[in-house]
Amino acid sequence: MPQLGPGKNDDEGYDYGRQLETGLEGDMYAFRTPPLHNVTLTGPWMHNGAYTSLEAAVRHHLDPVSALADYDALELDPILWATFKVPYDLLDTLDPLLDEPAELSDEQVADLMAFLAALTAPGAAGGCELVPDSVPSGLSIDTDPDAGC
């Protein structure tokens, strides 16, 4: 996953993930996997908001090497453009099971997207009362005018 934002506990702006807690080299760039319940409503996706669409996040996992090489930070909020970086050792931590791209058709990806949408609770859409006034990073909070927020 590309590095975005101010990082955590690092002068160069990197976030080394779980390694910051364990000190173990094998935990470098490992991040908690959030639950999939209501995942269609929780964008931007990935630990750092690197993807503005859930489908792009899903497709990233099919071929992370190419996704990283082709990543376009210009799709993000302009405040994050200058924070985009790829640590030289990032791909060294890639699980060997992901070395070869997974081949899925557009129809199969659509099926995955339908499955993820099915995990959305009917009453969860909207949820304007749950939108905070601010976030720790200071980034603005986008609201959904169609939901009345």
Give the pLDDT confidence of 109-126 residue by residue, as tens digits: 999 999 999 999 887 776
State the pTM of this model: 0.76
Residue 75 lies in a domain: yes
In a domain, 69, yes or no: yes
Question: What's the domain range around 81?
Answer: 36-86+95-147
Has residue 18 been placed in a domain?
no
The arithmetic mean of pLDDT across residues 20-25, rounded, is: 92
The answer to whether 72 touches 80, Cβ cutoff 8 Å, is no
Tally the domains of the chain.
1
3-state secondary structure 65-115: HHHHHCCCHHHCCHHHHCCCECCCCHHHHCCHHHCCCCCCCHHHHHHHHHH
Is residue 111, in this structure, part of any structural domain at all?
Answer: yes
d(CA 15, CA 41): 25
User: In this predicted structure, what is the pLDDT of residue 82?
Assistant: 86
Is 55 strand, coil or helix?
Answer: helix
Asked if 62 contacts 101 with a C-beta cutoff of 8 angstroms, the reply is yes
Residue-wise pLDDT tens digits, 26-84: 898 888 888 899 999 888 899 888 999 999 999 999 999 999 889 998 888 898 888 88
Residue 26 in any domain: the answer is no
